Amino acid sequence: LLPLFVNSLSKKYPDLQVEIIEMGVKEMVLGLENEELDGGIAIYPFDKAGFYEEVLFDEKFVIYISLDHPLAAKKEISWNDISPEDLILQEDLHNHFLSPDHSEQSKFIAGKISNIHFLSGSFETIRKIIELHGGMTLLPQLSTIYMGARRLKMVRPLIHPTISRKIILVTPRGFEKNRITKVIKKEILKNLPSQ
């Protein structure tokens, strides 16, 4: 997400001083509570109540699949076609889909992935494992815009159901820098690729 809007934000608002830090949710909560952060981009639902949460967009997931897998011949993959043994999930996604406070979509998904052998690791590590040893994973659609042609051949839309997550802007209550967050939100939305 960041590479899509930071250049535009910098050029349009040269006097705006913004520091961007990538961090986990627990660090973000501490930063917001200690007033060290003015805001954060996170996945809904946020881990802690007491902050403003504004939905930025819904991000769809796609399947990243080994070209040797029998389902790789399909142009789109239905969730019902996926065998849990073949699916390798990054730990955060595994926890996200098994979280109890999700919509009906996520309850359906959680039922399907309850037997998954998940792997803790980055998306990059999991992609390499799939390329070398087979299987498939879920990837956020935005992560595919930076892939080269070789890797894009391994991406398939996921259907029946489509799976998405809400990306939110989190700010403290009584936040005094509303104008700044509105500018950042505007640049994020303006620079999102059409999905």
pLDDT digits (tens, 9 = 90+) for 132-163: 888 888 899 998 998 999 999 999 999 988 88
Give the tens place of pLDDT for each residue, 98-108: 665 555 555 45
Number of CB atoms found within 10 A of residue 65's CB:
24
Amino acid (one-letter) located at 157:
P
The pTM of this model reads 0.78
pLDDT by residue (tens digit) across 86-129?
888 776 776 666 665 555 555 455 544 544 444 456 778 888 88
Alpha helices in 34-169 (DSSP H): 91-98, 104-113, 123-133, 149-152
Please write the tens of the pLDDT for every residue from 2-27. Answer: 888 999 999 999 998 888 888 888 89
